[in-house]
Homo-oligomer: A and B are copies of this chain.
Amino acid sequence: MNESQRKTAEGILFTDQYQLTMAQLYYRTGLHEKNVQFDHFFRNYPDYGTHKAGYCINAGLEWIVNWMQTAHFRKEDIEYLRSQTTTTGRQLFNKDFLAWLRKNGTFDSISLLAIPEGRVVHPNVPLTVVQGSLAMAQILESPLLNQLNYQSLIATKAARIHETGRGQTLIEFGMRRGHEKGVNAGIRAALIGGADFSSTVGISHVLGYPPKGTHGHSMVQVFMALGEGELGAFRAYADVYPDDCILLVDTINTLESGVPNAIKVFEELKRKGHEPVGIRLDSGDLAYFSIQAAKMLNDAGFTEAKIVLSNQLDELVIWQIITQIEEEAPRYGVDADNLIRRLIYGVGTRLITSNGDSALDGVYKVVAVEEKGEWIPAIKLSETPIKTLNPGYKPVWRVYDDRSKATADVLGLQCDDPIKNKRITLHHPTDHTKLRILSKGEVSEIEPLLTQILTQGKLTYDLPSIDEIRAVRKNDIARLDSGVKRIVNPHIYHVSLTQALWDLKQSLIESLKKDTSYHVKTL
Protein backbone atom coordinates (compact mmCIF):
# COMPACT_ATOMS: atom_id res chain seq x y z
CA MET A 1 0.00 0.00 0.00
CA ASN A 2 1.20 3.52 -0.66
CA GLU A 3 0.63 6.36 1.83
CA SER A 4 -2.69 7.41 0.35
CA GLN A 5 -3.99 3.84 0.28
CA ARG A 6 -2.84 3.35 3.87
CA LYS A 7 -4.84 6.36 4.97
CA THR A 8 -7.92 4.89 3.32
CA ALA A 9 -7.38 1.46 4.86
CA GLU A 10 -6.54 2.67 8.38
CA GLY A 11 -8.74 5.76 8.70
CA ILE A 12 -12.45 5.85 9.32
CA LEU A 13 -13.10 3.24 6.64
CA PHE A 14 -11.29 0.76 8.88
CA THR A 15 -14.76 -0.52 9.76
CA ASP A 16 -17.24 -3.06 8.48
CA GLN A 17 -19.49 -2.26 5.54
CA TYR A 18 -22.65 -3.07 7.49
CA GLN A 19 -21.87 -0.34 10.02
CA LEU A 20 -22.15 2.16 7.16
CA THR A 21 -25.29 0.66 5.64
CA MET A 22 -26.90 0.55 9.10
CA ALA A 23 -25.81 4.15 9.69
CA GLN A 24 -27.55 5.16 6.47
CA LEU A 25 -30.68 3.29 7.55
CA TYR A 26 -30.61 5.18 10.87
CA TYR A 27 -30.23 8.41 8.91
CA ARG A 28 -33.18 7.56 6.68
CA THR A 29 -35.38 6.64 9.62
CA GLY A 30 -34.32 9.69 11.63
CA LEU A 31 -32.60 7.64 14.32
CA HIS A 32 -29.00 8.52 13.46
CA GLU A 33 -28.58 11.12 16.21
CA LYS A 34 -30.55 9.26 18.83
CA ASN A 35 -28.58 8.81 22.03
CA VAL A 36 -27.70 5.16 22.64
CA GLN A 37 -25.41 3.06 24.77
CA PHE A 38 -23.25 0.17 23.58
CA ASP A 39 -21.40 -2.10 26.02
CA HIS A 40 -18.15 -3.78 25.10
CA PHE A 41 -17.40 -6.99 27.00
CA PHE A 42 -16.05 -10.47 26.35
CA ARG A 43 -17.86 -13.70 27.07
CA ASN A 44 -15.09 -16.22 27.63
CA TYR A 45 -11.54 -16.24 28.91
CA PRO A 46 -9.01 -17.42 26.32
CA ASP A 47 -8.94 -21.22 26.21
CA TYR A 48 -5.61 -22.45 24.85
CA GLY A 49 -6.71 -26.08 24.66
CA THR A 50 -4.48 -27.75 27.22
CA HIS A 51 -4.71 -24.72 29.52
CA LYS A 52 -7.04 -21.81 30.06
CA ALA A 53 -7.07 -18.30 31.51
CA GLY A 54 -8.91 -17.49 34.75
CA TYR A 55 -8.55 -13.74 34.30
CA CYS A 56 -7.78 -11.23 31.54
CA ILE A 57 -5.73 -8.04 31.47
CA ASN A 58 -7.51 -5.09 29.92
CA ALA A 59 -5.50 -3.27 27.23
CA GLY A 60 -5.78 -1.14 24.10
CA LEU A 61 -7.79 1.82 25.37
CA GLU A 62 -5.23 4.54 24.63
CA TRP A 63 -4.81 3.47 21.03
CA ILE A 64 -8.53 3.34 20.21
CA VAL A 65 -9.06 6.69 21.95
CA ASN A 66 -6.24 8.20 19.87
CA TRP A 67 -7.73 6.76 16.69
CA MET A 68 -11.17 8.16 17.56
CA GLN A 69 -9.76 11.62 18.00
CA THR A 70 -8.43 11.88 14.45
CA ALA A 71 -10.66 9.57 12.39
CA HIS A 72 -13.14 11.39 10.19
CA PHE A 73 -14.70 11.08 6.75
CA ARG A 74 -12.23 12.72 4.37
CA LYS A 75 -13.27 13.91 0.94
CA GLU A 76 -11.66 10.78 -0.56
CA ASP A 77 -13.64 8.51 1.77
CA ILE A 78 -16.90 10.17 0.78
CA GLU A 79 -15.97 9.92 -2.91
CA TYR A 80 -15.41 6.22 -2.53
CA LEU A 81 -18.70 5.68 -0.74
CA ARG A 82 -20.42 7.70 -3.45
CA SER A 83 -19.06 5.24 -6.03
CA GLN A 84 -20.53 2.16 -4.35
CA THR A 85 -23.57 0.69 -6.10
CA THR A 86 -26.46 -1.63 -5.28
CA THR A 87 -27.06 -4.90 -7.13
CA THR A 88 -29.26 -2.97 -9.56
CA GLY A 89 -26.58 -0.38 -10.23
CA ARG A 90 -28.06 2.47 -8.21
CA GLN A 91 -25.94 4.56 -5.87
CA LEU A 92 -25.76 2.70 -2.53
CA PHE A 93 -25.18 5.72 -0.30
CA ASN A 94 -27.31 8.77 -0.99
CA LYS A 95 -26.17 12.34 -1.28
CA ASP A 96 -27.85 13.64 1.88
CA PHE A 97 -26.43 10.87 4.05
CA LEU A 98 -22.96 11.39 2.60
CA ALA A 99 -23.22 15.12 3.27
CA TRP A 100 -24.19 14.33 6.87
CA LEU A 101 -21.23 11.95 7.21
CA ARG A 102 -18.79 14.46 5.79
CA LYS A 103 -19.97 17.06 8.30
CA ASN A 104 -20.85 14.97 11.35
CA GLY A 105 -18.91 11.78 10.79
CA THR A 106 -16.51 12.11 13.72
CA PHE A 107 -16.52 10.73 17.23
CA ASP A 108 -16.96 14.19 18.77
CA SER A 109 -20.37 13.25 20.13
CA ILE A 110 -19.17 10.07 21.81
CA SER A 111 -18.69 9.69 25.56
CA LEU A 112 -16.78 6.73 26.80
CA LEU A 113 -16.44 5.07 30.19
CA ALA A 114 -13.98 2.24 30.61
CA ILE A 115 -12.16 0.03 33.04
CA PRO A 116 -8.60 1.35 32.80
CA GLU A 117 -5.78 -0.48 31.03
CA GLY A 118 -3.82 -2.99 33.05
CA ARG A 119 -6.79 -3.91 35.26
CA VAL A 120 -7.68 -7.55 35.72
CA VAL A 121 -11.05 -8.11 34.00
CA HIS A 122 -13.61 -10.88 33.70
CA PRO A 123 -16.33 -12.11 31.30
CA ASN A 124 -19.65 -10.31 30.90
CA VAL A 125 -18.42 -7.20 32.69
CA PRO A 126 -18.71 -4.02 30.58
CA LEU A 127 -15.09 -3.02 29.91
CA THR A 128 -16.02 -0.09 27.73
CA VAL A 129 -19.32 1.80 27.71
CA VAL A 130 -19.98 3.92 24.65
CA GLN A 131 -22.68 6.59 24.76
CA GLY A 132 -23.52 8.89 21.88
CA SER A 133 -25.34 9.25 18.60
CA LEU A 134 -26.48 5.95 17.14
CA ALA A 135 -24.86 6.26 13.70
CA MET A 136 -21.34 7.06 14.91
CA ALA A 137 -21.49 4.69 17.89
CA GLN A 138 -22.43 1.99 15.40
CA ILE A 139 -19.52 2.78 13.05
CA LEU A 140 -17.17 2.61 16.05
CA GLU A 141 -18.00 -1.03 16.75
CA SER A 142 -15.48 -2.69 14.42
CA PRO A 143 -12.39 -0.53 15.05
CA LEU A 144 -13.00 -0.53 18.82
CA LEU A 145 -13.32 -4.30 18.98
CA ASN A 146 -10.32 -4.72 16.67
CA GLN A 147 -8.03 -2.76 18.98
CA LEU A 148 -9.35 -3.88 22.38
CA ASN A 149 -9.83 -7.56 21.60
CA TYR A 150 -6.29 -7.98 20.33
CA GLN A 151 -4.44 -5.95 22.94
CA SER A 152 -6.36 -7.58 25.82
CA LEU A 153 -5.69 -11.01 24.34
CA ILE A 154 -1.93 -10.39 24.30
CA ALA A 155 -1.72 -8.60 27.64
CA THR A 156 -3.47 -11.62 29.16
CA LYS A 157 -1.04 -14.08 27.56
CA ALA A 158 1.96 -11.98 28.66
CA ALA A 159 0.68 -11.87 32.25
CA ARG A 160 0.37 -15.65 32.34
CA ILE A 161 3.87 -16.12 30.96
CA HIS A 162 5.32 -13.52 33.32
CA GLU A 163 3.63 -15.14 36.34
CA THR A 164 4.76 -18.63 35.36
CA GLY A 165 8.31 -17.39 34.81
CA ARG A 166 8.31 -16.14 38.42
CA GLY A 167 8.95 -12.58 37.37
CA GLN A 168 12.25 -13.33 35.60
CA THR A 169 13.00 -11.00 32.69
CA LEU A 170 10.66 -11.68 29.77
CA ILE A 171 11.57 -10.43 26.30
CA GLU A 172 8.99 -10.35 23.51
CA PHE A 173 10.57 -11.90 20.37
CA GLY A 174 7.61 -12.43 18.03
CA MET A 175 7.55 -9.94 15.14
CA ARG A 176 8.62 -12.50 12.54
CA ARG A 177 5.58 -14.69 13.21
CA GLY A 178 3.05 -12.07 14.26
CA HIS A 179 0.19 -10.76 12.19
CA GLU A 180 1.88 -8.09 10.10
CA LYS A 181 1.82 -4.53 11.51
CA GLY A 182 -0.53 -5.70 14.25
CA VAL A 183 2.56 -6.87 16.14
CA ASN A 184 3.24 -3.28 17.18
CA ALA A 185 -0.04 -3.17 19.08
CA GLY A 186 0.71 -6.65 20.40
CA ILE A 187 4.08 -5.53 21.71
CA ARG A 188 2.48 -2.65 23.58
CA ALA A 189 0.02 -5.12 25.09
CA ALA A 190 2.81 -7.58 25.96
CA LEU A 191 4.63 -4.83 27.85
CA ILE A 192 1.42 -4.01 29.72
CA GLY A 193 0.84 -7.65 30.57
CA GLY A 194 4.29 -8.58 31.76
CA ALA A 195 6.97 -8.55 29.05
CA ASP A 196 9.89 -6.36 30.16
CA PHE A 197 11.28 -5.66 26.70
CA SER A 198 10.71 -6.42 23.03
CA SER A 199 13.20 -7.25 20.31
CA THR A 200 11.39 -5.05 17.79
CA VAL A 201 13.28 -1.78 17.39
CA GLY A 202 10.82 0.83 16.13
CA ILE A 203 7.91 0.26 18.46
CA SER A 204 10.26 -0.16 21.43
CA HIS A 205 11.56 3.32 20.69
CA VAL A 206 8.05 4.74 20.35
CA LEU A 207 7.01 3.20 23.66
CA GLY A 208 10.21 4.15 25.45
CA TYR A 209 11.58 0.69 26.19
CA PRO A 210 15.08 -0.21 24.96
CA PRO A 211 14.90 -3.06 22.40
CA LYS A 212 16.79 -6.20 23.38
CA GLY A 213 18.38 -9.08 21.51
CA THR A 214 21.33 -11.41 21.23
CA HIS A 215 22.55 -12.65 17.83
CA GLY A 216 21.29 -15.21 15.31
CA HIS A 217 22.58 -18.48 13.91
CA SER A 218 23.31 -16.71 10.64
CA MET A 219 26.22 -14.82 12.20
CA VAL A 220 27.88 -18.05 13.30
CA GLN A 221 27.16 -19.70 9.95
CA VAL A 222 28.80 -16.88 8.01
CA PHE A 223 31.96 -17.12 10.10
CA MET A 224 31.91 -20.88 9.67
CA ALA A 225 31.53 -20.65 5.91
CA LEU A 226 34.51 -18.28 5.83
CA GLY A 227 36.61 -20.78 7.79
CA GLU A 228 36.63 -18.96 11.12
CA GLY A 229 34.26 -21.26 12.91
CA GLU A 230 31.95 -20.73 15.83
CA LEU A 231 34.81 -19.60 18.04
CA GLY A 232 35.75 -16.93 15.49
CA ALA A 233 32.16 -15.69 15.47
CA PHE A 234 31.99 -15.57 19.27
CA ARG A 235 35.31 -13.72 19.48
CA ALA A 236 34.17 -11.16 16.95
CA TYR A 237 30.94 -10.61 18.89
CA ALA A 238 32.73 -10.26 22.22
CA ASP A 239 35.10 -7.82 20.60
CA VAL A 240 32.31 -5.55 19.35
CA TYR A 241 30.01 -5.97 22.37
CA PRO A 242 32.34 -6.68 25.31
CA ASP A 243 29.86 -5.54 27.96
CA ASP A 244 26.68 -6.91 26.37
CA CYS A 245 27.92 -10.29 25.32
CA ILE A 246 25.23 -12.98 25.08
CA LEU A 247 26.28 -15.87 22.84
CA LEU A 248 23.92 -18.23 21.01
CA VAL A 249 25.44 -21.65 21.59
CA ASP A 250 23.37 -24.15 19.58
CA THR A 251 24.45 -23.65 15.96
CA ILE A 252 26.58 -26.81 15.86
CA ASN A 253 26.39 -28.72 19.13
CA THR A 254 25.34 -27.01 22.35
CA LEU A 255 27.38 -28.86 24.96
CA GLU A 256 30.34 -30.01 22.86
CA SER A 257 30.96 -26.85 20.86
CA GLY A 258 28.75 -23.90 21.81
CA VAL A 259 29.14 -23.72 25.58
CA PRO A 260 32.90 -24.58 25.63
CA ASN A 261 33.55 -21.92 22.96
CA ALA A 262 31.45 -19.39 24.88
CA ILE A 263 33.39 -20.09 28.08
CA LYS A 264 36.68 -19.63 26.22
CA VAL A 265 35.53 -16.24 24.98
CA PHE A 266 34.13 -15.27 28.40
CA GLU A 267 37.52 -16.03 29.96
CA GLU A 268 39.19 -13.81 27.38
CA LEU A 269 36.65 -11.06 28.09
CA LYS A 270 37.22 -11.36 31.81
CA ARG A 271 40.97 -11.04 31.37
CA LYS A 272 40.30 -7.78 29.51
CA GLY A 273 38.20 -6.55 32.45
CA HIS A 274 34.70 -7.12 31.03
CA GLU A 275 31.81 -8.97 32.58
CA PRO A 276 30.25 -11.44 30.10
CA VAL A 277 26.44 -11.46 30.27
CA GLY A 278 25.55 -15.03 29.30
CA ILE A 279 24.42 -17.51 26.68
CA ARG A 280 21.26 -18.27 24.71
CA LEU A 281 19.76 -21.73 24.14
CA ASP A 282 17.34 -21.97 21.19
CA SER A 283 16.77 -25.70 20.58
CA GLY A 284 16.62 -29.11 22.16
CA ASP A 285 15.64 -29.94 25.75
CA LEU A 286 15.97 -26.48 27.25
CA ALA A 287 15.74 -27.68 30.87
CA TYR A 288 18.45 -30.31 30.41
CA PHE A 289 20.71 -28.02 28.39
CA SER A 290 20.32 -25.15 30.85
CA ILE A 291 21.34 -27.40 33.76
CA GLN A 292 24.35 -28.74 31.87
CA ALA A 293 25.32 -25.29 30.60
CA ALA A 294 24.95 -23.85 34.12
CA LYS A 295 27.21 -26.58 35.45
CA MET A 296 29.88 -25.82 32.84
CA LEU A 297 29.57 -22.07 33.41
CA ASN A 298 29.71 -22.53 37.20
CA ASP A 299 32.78 -24.76 36.96
CA ALA A 300 34.47 -22.06 34.89
CA GLY A 301 33.61 -19.45 37.51
CA PHE A 302 30.75 -17.76 35.65
CA THR A 303 28.21 -18.42 38.38
CA GLU A 304 26.14 -15.37 37.55
CA ALA A 305 26.04 -15.78 33.76
CA LYS A 306 22.50 -15.47 32.44
CA ILE A 307 20.88 -18.17 30.35
CA VAL A 308 18.41 -16.88 27.78
CA LEU A 309 15.88 -19.50 26.70
CA SER A 310 13.93 -19.26 23.45
CA ASN A 311 12.13 -21.58 20.97
CA GLN A 312 8.38 -21.98 21.12
CA LEU A 313 8.04 -20.99 24.74
CA ASP A 314 4.76 -20.29 26.45
CA GLU A 315 3.47 -20.54 30.03
CA LEU A 316 3.08 -24.31 29.87
CA VAL A 317 6.58 -24.90 28.48
CA ILE A 318 8.13 -22.53 31.03
CA TRP A 319 6.27 -24.27 33.84
CA GLN A 320 7.64 -27.60 32.60
CA ILE A 321 11.20 -26.25 32.31
CA ILE A 322 11.15 -24.88 35.87
CA THR A 323 9.68 -28.11 37.24
CA GLN A 324 12.32 -30.19 35.45
CA ILE A 325 15.13 -27.94 36.68
CA GLU A 326 13.87 -28.24 40.25
CA GLU A 327 13.84 -32.01 39.92
CA GLU A 328 17.05 -32.59 37.99
CA ALA A 329 19.48 -29.77 38.76
CA PRO A 330 20.52 -31.06 42.23
CA ARG A 331 21.50 -34.38 40.65
CA TYR A 332 24.19 -32.51 38.67
CA GLY A 333 25.29 -30.38 41.58
CA VAL A 334 23.54 -27.28 40.26
CA ASP A 335 21.45 -25.17 42.63
CA ALA A 336 17.97 -25.08 41.11
CA ASP A 337 16.90 -21.77 42.65
CA ASN A 338 20.09 -20.07 41.55
CA LEU A 339 19.66 -21.40 38.01
CA ILE A 340 16.00 -20.36 37.82
CA ARG A 341 16.97 -16.85 38.90
CA ARG A 342 19.52 -16.69 36.07
CA LEU A 343 16.99 -17.53 33.36
CA ILE A 344 15.70 -14.97 30.87
CA TYR A 345 12.77 -15.92 28.65
CA GLY A 346 12.59 -14.88 25.00
CA VAL A 347 9.03 -15.57 23.94
CA GLY A 348 7.96 -15.13 20.33
CA THR A 349 5.17 -16.77 18.34
CA ARG A 350 3.08 -18.11 21.18
CA LEU A 351 2.91 -14.74 22.91
CA ILE A 352 2.38 -12.35 19.99
CA THR A 353 -0.26 -14.58 18.33
CA SER A 354 -1.69 -16.02 21.59
CA ASN A 355 -1.19 -19.48 20.20
CA GLY A 356 -3.93 -21.94 21.08
CA ASP A 357 -6.57 -19.23 21.21
CA SER A 358 -5.77 -16.46 18.80
CA ALA A 359 -8.75 -14.19 19.47
CA LEU A 360 -10.60 -12.77 22.42
CA ASP A 361 -14.35 -12.95 21.82
CA GLY A 362 -15.14 -9.38 22.81
CA VAL A 363 -18.48 -8.04 21.56
CA TYR A 364 -20.16 -4.64 21.37
CA LYS A 365 -23.87 -4.69 22.05
CA VAL A 366 -26.50 -1.99 22.21
CA VAL A 367 -27.99 -2.05 25.72
CA ALA A 368 -30.02 1.15 25.98
CA VAL A 369 -31.70 3.76 23.79
CA GLU A 370 -32.67 7.23 24.98
CA GLU A 371 -36.23 8.25 24.22
CA LYS A 372 -37.72 11.51 25.46
CA GLY A 373 -35.00 11.93 28.05
CA GLU A 374 -35.41 8.41 29.46
CA TRP A 375 -33.09 5.44 28.89
CA ILE A 376 -34.91 2.40 27.56
CA PRO A 377 -33.01 -0.87 28.06
CA ALA A 378 -32.35 -2.87 24.90
CA ILE A 379 -32.05 -6.62 25.12
CA LYS A 380 -31.28 -9.52 22.83
CA LEU A 381 -32.53 -12.97 23.69
CA SER A 382 -30.46 -15.93 22.72
CA GLU A 383 -30.78 -19.68 22.42
CA THR A 384 -27.85 -19.74 24.87
CA PRO A 385 -28.92 -18.12 28.21
CA ILE A 386 -25.45 -16.75 28.92
CA LYS A 387 -25.64 -14.75 25.69
CA THR A 388 -28.77 -12.86 26.80
CA LEU A 389 -27.63 -9.27 27.28
CA ASN A 390 -27.59 -7.44 30.58
CA PRO A 391 -29.65 -4.34 29.73
CA GLY A 392 -28.99 -0.66 30.35
CA TYR A 393 -26.24 1.26 32.07
CA LYS A 394 -24.59 -0.89 34.69
CA PRO A 395 -22.09 0.42 37.23
CA VAL A 396 -19.45 -2.20 38.02
CA TRP A 397 -17.99 -2.76 41.49
CA ARG A 398 -15.17 -5.04 42.54
CA VAL A 399 -15.68 -6.57 45.95
CA TYR A 400 -12.64 -7.57 48.01
CA ASP A 401 -12.92 -10.12 50.81
CA ASP A 402 -11.45 -9.97 54.31
CA ARG A 403 -8.06 -11.15 52.99
CA SER A 404 -8.13 -8.14 50.60
CA LYS A 405 -8.45 -10.52 47.64
CA ALA A 406 -10.89 -9.72 44.85
CA THR A 407 -13.85 -12.03 45.29
CA ALA A 408 -16.48 -10.81 42.82
CA ASP A 409 -17.26 -8.21 40.16
CA VAL A 410 -20.79 -6.93 40.60
CA LEU A 411 -22.96 -5.34 37.91
CA GLY A 412 -25.81 -3.23 39.15
CA LEU A 413 -28.11 -0.36 38.35
CA GLN A 414 -27.50 3.31 39.05
CA CYS A 415 -29.94 3.14 41.95
CA ASP A 416 -27.79 0.45 43.58
CA ASP A 417 -25.25 1.38 46.21
CA PRO A 418 -23.49 -1.73 47.49
CA ILE A 419 -21.05 0.38 49.51
CA LYS A 420 -23.89 1.55 51.77
CA ASN A 421 -25.66 -1.81 52.02
CA LYS A 422 -25.31 -4.05 55.08
CA ARG A 423 -25.11 -7.15 52.94
CA ILE A 424 -24.62 -7.76 49.24
CA THR A 425 -26.73 -10.25 47.33
CA LEU A 426 -24.87 -11.64 44.34
CA HIS A 427 -26.92 -13.21 41.55
CA HIS A 428 -25.41 -15.50 38.95
CA PRO A 429 -26.05 -13.74 35.57
CA THR A 430 -28.37 -16.49 34.27
CA ASP A 431 -28.86 -19.21 36.86
CA HIS A 432 -31.46 -18.14 39.43
CA THR A 433 -30.54 -21.02 41.76
CA LYS A 434 -27.07 -19.58 42.27
CA LEU A 435 -27.08 -16.90 44.95
CA ARG A 436 -24.31 -15.69 47.22
CA ILE A 437 -24.74 -13.29 50.13
CA LEU A 438 -21.82 -11.34 51.53
CA SER A 439 -22.13 -9.67 54.91
CA LYS A 440 -20.36 -6.39 55.67
CA GLY A 441 -17.76 -8.22 57.78
CA GLU A 442 -16.67 -10.38 54.87
CA VAL A 443 -15.96 -7.36 52.68
CA SER A 444 -12.81 -5.26 53.05
CA GLU A 445 -13.36 -2.93 50.09
CA ILE A 446 -15.82 -2.15 47.32
CA GLU A 447 -14.26 -0.42 44.35
CA PRO A 448 -16.09 1.11 41.35
CA LEU A 449 -14.29 0.05 38.15
CA LEU A 450 -15.67 2.22 35.34
CA THR A 451 -13.94 5.54 34.75
CA GLN A 452 -14.95 8.42 32.51
CA ILE A 453 -12.50 8.57 29.58
CA LEU A 454 -14.14 10.69 26.87
CA THR A 455 -16.87 13.24 27.48
CA GLN A 456 -18.54 14.23 24.21
CA GLY A 457 -15.39 13.28 22.33
CA LYS A 458 -13.10 15.22 24.70
CA LEU A 459 -10.45 13.37 26.64
CA THR A 460 -11.33 13.88 30.33
CA TYR A 461 -8.86 11.33 31.67
CA ASP A 462 -5.12 11.40 32.20
CA LEU A 463 -3.80 8.60 30.01
CA PRO A 464 -1.27 6.76 32.18
CA SER A 465 2.20 5.74 31.00
CA ILE A 466 2.93 2.08 30.26
CA ASP A 467 4.96 1.91 33.47
CA GLU A 468 1.94 3.13 35.40
CA ILE A 469 -0.29 0.62 33.64
CA ARG A 470 2.20 -2.15 34.50
CA ALA A 471 1.99 -1.17 38.16
CA VAL A 472 -1.82 -1.39 38.00
CA ARG A 473 -1.57 -4.86 36.47
CA LYS A 474 0.93 -6.02 39.09
CA ASN A 475 -1.25 -4.78 41.92
CA ASP A 476 -4.41 -6.34 40.50
CA ILE A 477 -2.79 -9.73 39.95
CA ALA A 478 -1.43 -9.68 43.50
CA ARG A 479 -5.01 -9.24 44.73
CA LEU A 480 -6.26 -12.30 42.82
CA ASP A 481 -6.85 -15.55 44.62
CA SER A 482 -4.14 -18.05 43.66
CA GLY A 483 -6.81 -20.47 42.44
CA VAL A 484 -7.91 -17.94 39.83
CA LYS A 485 -4.29 -17.57 38.70
CA ARG A 486 -3.72 -21.30 38.11
CA ILE A 487 -2.62 -21.75 34.51
CA VAL A 488 -4.48 -25.05 34.20
CA ASN A 489 -8.07 -25.42 35.42
CA PRO A 490 -8.38 -22.06 37.18
CA HIS A 491 -11.15 -21.34 39.68
CA ILE A 492 -14.11 -19.49 38.22
CA TYR A 493 -14.14 -15.89 39.47
CA HIS A 494 -17.61 -14.61 40.37
CA VAL A 495 -19.28 -12.06 38.11
CA SER A 496 -22.67 -11.26 39.58
CA LEU A 497 -25.74 -9.08 39.23
CA THR A 498 -27.35 -7.08 42.02
CA GLN A 499 -30.93 -7.84 42.96
CA ALA A 500 -32.18 -4.75 41.09
CA LEU A 501 -30.41 -5.63 37.83
CA TRP A 502 -31.51 -9.26 38.10
CA ASP A 503 -35.12 -8.17 38.52
CA LEU A 504 -34.95 -5.77 35.57
CA LYS A 505 -33.44 -8.44 33.33
CA GLN A 506 -36.12 -10.98 34.24
CA SER A 507 -38.92 -8.52 33.59
CA LEU A 508 -37.47 -7.66 30.18
CA ILE A 509 -37.11 -11.30 29.20
CA GLU A 510 -40.70 -11.93 30.23
CA SER A 511 -42.09 -8.98 28.29
CA LEU A 512 -40.03 -9.93 25.26
CA LYS A 513 -41.31 -13.50 25.35
CA LYS A 514 -44.87 -12.20 25.45
CA ASP A 515 -44.57 -9.58 22.77
CA THR A 516 -41.76 -9.13 20.31
CA SER A 517 -42.72 -5.49 19.74
CA TYR A 518 -42.55 -4.91 23.45
CA HIS A 519 -42.68 -1.67 25.37
CA VAL A 520 -40.84 -1.65 28.68
CA LYS A 521 -40.47 0.60 31.61
CA THR A 522 -37.61 3.04 31.48
CA LEU A 523 -34.52 2.67 33.65
Contact = CB atoms under 8 A, between A and B. Distances in A.
Given A180-B146, A224-B378, A353-B359, A8 B517 contact: no
Interface string A88-126: 101010000000000000000000000000000000000
A201 interface: yes
Interface stretch (A20-28, A336-344, A411-419, A429-437): A20-28
Given A206-B1, A230-B516, A516-B229, A20 B215 contact: no
A379 B244 CA distance: 27
A197 to B, nearest CB: 9
A212 B26 CA distance: 18
Nearest to A16: B199
A184 B9 contact: yes
Given A176-B145, A182-B183, A185-B181, A224 B516 contact: yes
A425 interface: no
A408 interface: no
Contacts of A361: 177, 349
Given A236-B25, A358-B355, A380-B221, A183 B146 contact: yes
B134 A222 contact: yes
Nearest to A203: B9
Contacts of A8: 202, 205-206
Contacts of A28: 236, 239-240
Contacts of A231: 516-517
Given A49-B49, A224-B518, A225-B378, A149 B175 contact: no
Copies of this chain present: 2
A138 interface: yes
A512 B142 contact: no
Contact of A212 (B11, B17, B149, B378): B17
A248 to B, nearest CB: 9
A405 to B, nearest CB: 32
Interface in A271-318: 277, 283-284
Best-surrounded residue of A29, A31, A368 (most CB of chain B within 10 A):
A29
B134 A146 contact: no
Nearest to A228: B517
Interface of A: 1-2, 5, 8-11, 13-22, 24-26, 28-29, 31, 34, 36, 38, 49, 63, 66, 80, 84, 86-88, 90, 92, 134, 138, 141-142, 145-147, 149-151, 173, 175-186, 199-206, 210-222, 224-232, 236-237, 239-241, 243-244, 250-253, 257, 277, 283-284, 349, 353-355, 357-362, 364-366, 368-369, 371, 376-384, 387, 512, 516-520
